[in-house]
Structure 1
Amino acid sequence: MFAAFKRLGADSLLYAFMNVGTKLIAFLMLPVYTSYLSKAQYGAVYLIDQWTSMLTFLVIFGTDSALSFYYYDTDDKEKRLLYVRNVMYVRLFIVALLFLPVVVAGPWIAHALLDEPGDVDLLYLSLMTLLLDTIFVVATTVMRFEFRTKSVVIWTLVKMSLVAVLSYAALRWLAATPEGLLMGRLVSSALVFLLMLHFTVKYMVWRVRWDVVKQLLAYGAPLVPTSLAFWAIANVSTLFLKHFASLEEVGVFGVALRLATVITLITSGVQMAWRPYSMSMKDRPGHRELFAKVYMALLVIGAVGLVAIATVSPWLVEAFFKPEYREASVYIPFLSAVTFLNFYYLILSTGLFLTKETGYISRVFTLAALLHLGLNAVLVPLWLSWGAVAASLITYLIAVVFIFRKSQQVYPVPVSWKKMNFILVATLLALIVIVYVQQAPLADGWVLAGWGLFAAMLFATRVDRDLRRPVRTIEGENVQNT
């Protein structure tokens, strides 16, 4: 038993290292890419990334969850190999199908997405990269199932490093255009494909079993709408911006979105650790009080972090980006709040996971996606990027409220929702004050007004009493959450 927990801990640390490493590489390369690309050019790259992200959901088509179920449902190595091969066939077949609309109506799609029919080359480059990445993902998934954690981490970091180096090389010496950047990505994916060919070739042997394909699709297809709902919430705002504004607006907003996800360097580790920790604590005395402390502590830490991000955002953008991207700094604090809420709902939904009511989360986010579409349709034409920010923030606030409310109904945790709401309001007011001061012709010292407002409202909640209050004894130890 101890060996199993030791493996879980070691694997979790390695995957956390991988997540931080890949996000850090992407973050460090962002100012490099934007130094070569104009706002409109980066806007085109960002839209291509969104297009590829949506197609990735279609290519996977829920087969990741299906494979994880059927792979461990048998100990027969040949049967496991059969499942992996058929997952590979399904995904490659879907990629092949995706080439057809581009071949038939590529210029029209390019015009609708990027305003330029001649940019159809970008669609082909993204699809060819998607084809190679599909093989890579299946290979690393099998490695993960076989507990070859170090191999997964090494290959993922090698791939991300190659993407960074070759994309930079392509921008500098080939063409400082979106085509150059995407060509660098394609070459890096091709190199990784060749390096991994000795491992992946056995998964590409043609041996289709239609009964296996039906099993995989029957399990995975129902999961696709939820995945697309999450994609819509994350990405649809920029499509509205492109339609009602310009690629330049998309470029600035895209930079703000990328920078806003920097906080996942911290939250991803907590997220990975929280699920097994909460599951292991559920039968121990006092665990609900402990959960309440975690809920409140993470909210306070996140709130302080968001106010700090608002304070340093202008300096960050000014120091590392061209002046034309400077406007991104005003959106970063609020988009960071959206990123935090996207993490925080996973913590607040613990009761739903413990009572196996996770279907509620899917229903909430499906409706949230529809709400998000409606809000963007109304707010983006009025306020452009600020409308997109407001739509995302409102959507996630409502989704978090519904999920927390349902979680409390099925699995009550003694935490004050009034204090939580007050802290959220205090944080948003502080962000508004700080961003306003930074944009107004006021002395920098006035930023402290935002911090003062936040500190005063936080002190008024006396949340420190909740965090200091001891919980019931757990296995003879008085557990405190710090």
Structure 2
Amino acid sequence: MKSQIKQLGRHSLIFGFGDSLKGMIGFMLLPVYTRFLTPADYGQLELLRTTISVLLVIAAQGIGSAFFRSYVFIEKELNASANDLISTSYLYILLSAFAVSASLYLFSGEYNAFIFGSGTSEILVKITAVSLCFEIIMLVPYQVFRAKMESVKFITLSLVHFFLQLALNIYFVTVLRMGVKGILMGNAISSSVMVVATFLMIKKHLVLKISGGVLKDLLAFGFPLIFSSLFYWMLQMSDRFLLQKFSSTHELGLYSLGTRFASVLPMLIVFPFQKVWGAMSFQVAARDDARETFRIITTYFYLLLCFTGAGLIIWSPPVIKIIAGREFWDTHKVIFPLVCANVGSGMLLISGFGIYMLKKTKYISLFVGLSAAANIALNLTLIPVYGMMGAAYVSFASNLLLNFLCYRLSQKVYFIPFDMPRLLKISLIFLAVSVSSTLLHPSNVMADVLYRLFLTALFFGGLIISGFFEYTEIRSMKNAYGRLLEQPGFSNKFKYAYELIIGQT
């Protein structure tokens, strides 16, 4: 059991790093964006990004998810080769990318008028269409690298893409002062370079042929996933369009910055965990002590989510004041409910495990659809009255509903004895320190920093006072801390701490 948990942590760090770079760039550029863009500009940028995300789901048609299954069973089930799969997937996605992006490009004027009205340049939508095309084409090569476990290629390309996009965005925004147009151009240019690079790396696997049997297998598995993906998109991102329609682009900009801060939680914790949880969870389920292992993993995963989330809530107000202009400072108001929503979204990986274990996945689309419908209905009611605060709390409520629905069914088909008393202690401590940080904002800088340090320490203090840690856990932590102090020099201490975290000690 212990080795399974260690392996999960180790692979989460390794495979999650490359994927996290894409999310990191948006966060790292916040000081640039918030100094050279207005909240309305930032809201406009967010809507165009959201456009890419939904059209990417439609264009991909579930091919990305279907690719892994087909890669494993391609020879046994279809009597075809891996090269047939790669060629068919790549060529089909290429055609899909051209079709979807060309549609957006040709109808850019109509889309611009529908979303923004007459105040926005049509050229931004056209650049978005070009960038979308490149984003779609890159899908299959990256799946090839994952399937073949070519992590060096994957990480190298991710780093090159990261730094190229970073440099272009900074140049276009700060030097040329091109605003949103510069950001979109930087993204499109960097993605075009990566399309060429990834093509050169996989061209040895490509033939100019689409296998009908392979394509049918891919779409049979992947196409139904479009609906659940679209429902999930509606649940998580439709509020951007509703804020634009029923509030203002200014509030959308503040809300979008808030979602960017809150996204640090899934970027650091959820996405790396998710990359290996799918395969690892089924391996754990085959063990005799599976349910006990799931119980422990759940407790500490939730603890990690809540501690990281509390840190974001506590420290986001001063960070926003440091990196952003005064007109963005009200962003901190939406951080608390948005972080809570991301905690709930992260817990879905475990609370719904039984549904996947017993192949009841048809209910996932139903539950996500119900939650998305509730999300839209509540947003239509609350956004016109409460603006971005209404959208933020609706996001939390709808994610909570989805968790509840998945948890109830999952426990019926595959019961896991979750440690409810410990989970409740974590929840109460999280709420106590998070709410306290939103109620009091000392005007003195030093007092404010000390207050937030106190709240951060109070999280751990609350765990100790409440008796959260078991005796064996306390003993293990003391032993680990003692061995850490014994390491000579800072570099050795850091190496030991790193190995301890990824489970190699």
With the shorter chain as reference, the TM-score category is 0.7 to 0.9
Q: 1:346 aligns with which of 349, 355, 359?
A: 349
Moved more, 129-138 or 194-203: 194-203
Give CA-to-partner distance per residue, 1:216-271, whole Å, 9 cap, x none.
Answer: 32222111101111111121111111111211111111111011111231333333
Matched, 1:27 2:27: yes
SS at match of 1:73: helix
- Call closer, same or farther: CA 1:196–1:104 in 2, change over 3 Å: closer
Q: Where does 1:188-199 land on structure 2 (aligned, <5 Å)?
A: 188-199=190-201
* C-alpha distance 67-197 of structure 1, shift in aligned 2 (>3 A): closer
Deviation larger for 135-144 or 93-102: 93-102
Contact map agreement 2:60 2:93 (CA 8 A) in 1 = yes
CA displacement 1:377-408 (0-9 Å, x = unmatched): 11111211110111110011121122222222
- Amino acid of the structure 2 residue aligned with 1:172: T
C-alpha deviation, 1:56, in angstroms: 0.5
Please state if 1:415 is matched with 2:423: no
Task: Spell out the pairing of 1:74-93 with structure 2 (5 A cutoff).
Answer: 74-75=74-75, 79-93=81-95
Query: What secondary structure does 1:231 align onto?
Result: helix
Which residue in 1 is equivalent to 2:15?
15
How far residue 126 of structure 1 moved from its aligned partner, in angstroms, is 1.4
The residue identity in structure 2 corresponding to 1:94 is S
Instruction: Give how far 1:332 is off.
Output: 1.7
- The corresponding residue for 2:225 is 223
- Choose 363-372 or 21-30, whichever is displaced more: 21-30
1:174 maps to which residue?
A: 176
1:36 is the counterpart of 2:36 = yes
Match of 1:393 among 369, 391, 396: 396
Q: What is the aligned counterpart of 1:316 among 314, 319, 323?
A: 319
Instruction: Show the 5 A alignment for 1:329-478.
Output: 329-417=332-420, 420=423, 423-424=426-427, 427-428=430-431, 430-438=433-441, 444=448, 462-464=467-469
Structure 1 residue 63, shift from structure 2 partner: 1.4
Structure 2 CA distance for aligned equivalents of residues 12 and 295 of structure 1: 15
Shift of 1:275: 4.2
Distance 1:127 1:203 in 2: 28
SS at match of 1:17: helix
Change (3 A) 1:467 1:351: farther
**1:69 corresponds to 2:72:** no
* Residue 175 of structure 2 is aligned to residue 157 of structure 1: no
Which structure has more relative contact order (CA 8 Å, sep 6+)? It is: 2
Structure-2 separation of matches of 1:456 and 1:147: 42
Change over 3 Å in CA distance of 1:301–1:131 after alignment to 2 = closer
Point out the more displaced range, 89-98 or 338-347. Answer: 89-98
CA spacing shift, 1:144–1:280, aligned 2, 3 Å? closer
* Structure 2 unpaired stretches of 5+: 1-5, 476-502
Distance 2:303 2:208 in 1: 54
Distance 1:192 1:276, change over 3 A: closer
Contact 2:8 2:276 in 1 (8 A): no
SS at match of 2:416: coil
Q: In structure 2, do the counterparts of structure 1 residues 204 and 383 end up closer, same or farther at CA, with 3 Å as the change threshold?
A: farther
Contact in 1 for aligned 2:316/2:332 (Cα 8 Å):
yes
Q: Are residues 433 and 60 of structure 1, via their aligned partners in 2, closer, same or farther at CA, if it must alter by over 3 Å?
A: same
Name the counterpart of 1:478.
Answer: none
Residue deviations 1:294-317 (CA, integer Å, cap 9, x gap): 323333343333333222111111
Aligned-partner SS, 2:149: coil
Deviation at 1:210, TM superposition (A): 4.3
Question: Deviation per CA, 1:333-357, whole angstroms, max 9, x where unpaired?
Answer: 3212211221112123333343333
Over residues 199-229 of structure 1, what are the superposed CA-to-partner deviations in whole Å (9 max), with x where a residue is unaligned? 3556776434445433332222111101111
Does the CA contact (< 8 Å) of 2:333 and 2:389 recur in 1? no
CA distance in 1, matches of 2:153, 2:30: 27
Identify the residue that residue 48 of structure 1 maps to in structure 2: 48
Matched to 1:343, the amino acid is G
Q: Equivalent residue of 1:303, what SS? A: helix
In the alignment, the residues of structure 1 paired with residue 142 and residue 453 of structure 2 have an alpha-carbon distance, to the nearest angstrom, of 48
The equivalent position to 1:108 in structure 2, one of 110, 116, 119, is 110
SS, match of residue 414 in structure 1: coil
**Amino acid of the structure 2 residue aligned with 1:338:** A
DSSP-derived class of the 1:170 partner:
helix
TM-score, normalised via structure 1 length = 0.85
Alpha-carbon RMSD across the aligned residues, in angstroms, is 3.5
Residue 250 of structure 1 is matched in structure 2 by: 252
Residue aligned with 1:438, SS: coil
Pair 1:109–1:266, CA change in 2 (3 A): same
Specify the SS of the correspondent of 1:352: helix
Are the aligned partners of 1:260 and 1:336 in contact in 2 as well (CA < 8 Å)? Answer: yes
Please, which moves more after superposition, 22-31 or 136-145? 22-31
Question: 1:318 and 1:9 mapped to 2: Cα distance?
Answer: 34
- Cα contact 1:437–1:447 (8 A) shared by 2: no
Q: Distance in 1 between matches of 2:272 and 2:47?
A: 28
Determine helix, strand or coil for the equivalent of 1:187.
Answer: helix
Distance 1:293 1:199 in 2: 41
Structure 1 residues 72-123: Cα deviation after superposition (integer angstroms, max 9, x where no partner): 3234997433333332333233333334544554222112222336522112
Larger mean Cα displacement after TM superposition, 344-353 or 195-204: 195-204
Instruction: Go from structure 1 to structure 2 and tell me whether the alpha carbon gap of 1:465 and 1:81 turns closer, same or farther (over 3 Å shift).
Output: closer
Q: Share of identical aligned residues, percent?
A: 23
| Counterparts of 1:376 and 1:184, CA distance in 2 | 33
Moved more, 193-202 or 79-88: 193-202
Q: In 2, distance between residues paired with 1:18 and 1:183? A: 23
More off after superposition, 15-24 vs 176-185? 15-24
* CA 1:200–1:290: 2 relative to 1, 3 Å: closer
User: Contact (CA 8 Å) 1:334, 1:431: kept in 2 or not?
Assistant: no
User: Structure 1 stretches of 5 or more lacking a match?
Assistant: 1-5, 471-481
